[in-house]
Amino acid sequence: MIISSIEVLDYYRAMTNDDFDAQTIAGLLWRVTEQARLSFDMVAEESDLTPAQTRALLSLEGPSPMRGLAGNLGCDASNVTGIADRLEARGLIRRETGSDRRIKLLALTPQGRMVRDLVRSRLSESSPATTSLSDDERRTLKELLLKMAAMTEGRPA
């Protein structure tokens, strides 16, 4: 017998307002992030990108050393070679060289910027924050997210 999404959701709904313990909220947050993961993978696929390639594209705000990207992706530096190879082969990024000739800077090409913006806007459209919350609720959520995101300082993201 399968425990369906709806049954699990009913379980959360049945909680009284006093149920705000860490495990409960963490479980709910996990459900939302799981939904976000599935949505993210679909958006990535629409642009013919793997999840890792998409995360890389979204991380490249400015030209960044490959090692820095590895930190953002949370993977070993050796992996970035292959990911960058594939993005470069598709013309979405470029390898640039600066004064320190050991370092290769990854930079978005104009086409890469276009794809990134498209992905970003599709992610925004499918975000549960967009589809399920009012303006007021989003304002409240933003404050809470800011506090939660503050913990990421000094950590990759």
Partner DNA sequence: TATTGTTATACTCTATAACTATA
Partner DNA sequence: TATAGTTATAGAGTATAACAATA
80 contact, one of DNA, a second copy, none, CB 5-8 Å limit per kind = DNA
Q: How far apart are CA 101 and CA 79, in angstroms?
A: 20
Is residue 116 close enough to count as binding DNA by CB under 7 A? no
Q: Cβ 83 to a second copy, closest distance in Å?
A: 16
Q: Which residues pair with 94 in a beta bridge?
A: 107
- For residue 90, what is the DSSP state? T
Comparing CB distances to DNA, the nearer of 11 and 51 is 51
The site that binds DNA (CB under 7 A) totals a number of residues, namely 29
Q: How far apart are CA 10 and CA 134, in angstroms?
A: 22
79 contact, one of DNA, a second copy, none, CB 5-8 Å limit per kind = DNA
128 contact, one of DNA, a second copy, none, CB 5-8 Å limit per kind = a second copy
Residues 66-85 touching DNA, rule: CB under 7 A, are: 66-68, 73-84
Residues 83-102 touching DNA, rule: CB under 7 A, are: 83-84, 86, 95, 99-102
Q: How far apart are CA 104 and CA 144, in angstroms?
A: 37
Q: What is the CA radius of gyration of the chain?
A: 19
C-alpha 18 chain-centroid distance: 32
CA angle, residues 24, 27, 29, in degrees to nearest 5: 110
Comparing CB distances to a second copy, the nearer of 109 and 126 is 126
Residues in contact with DNA by the rule CB under 7 A:
50-53, 65-68, 73-84, 86, 95, 99-105
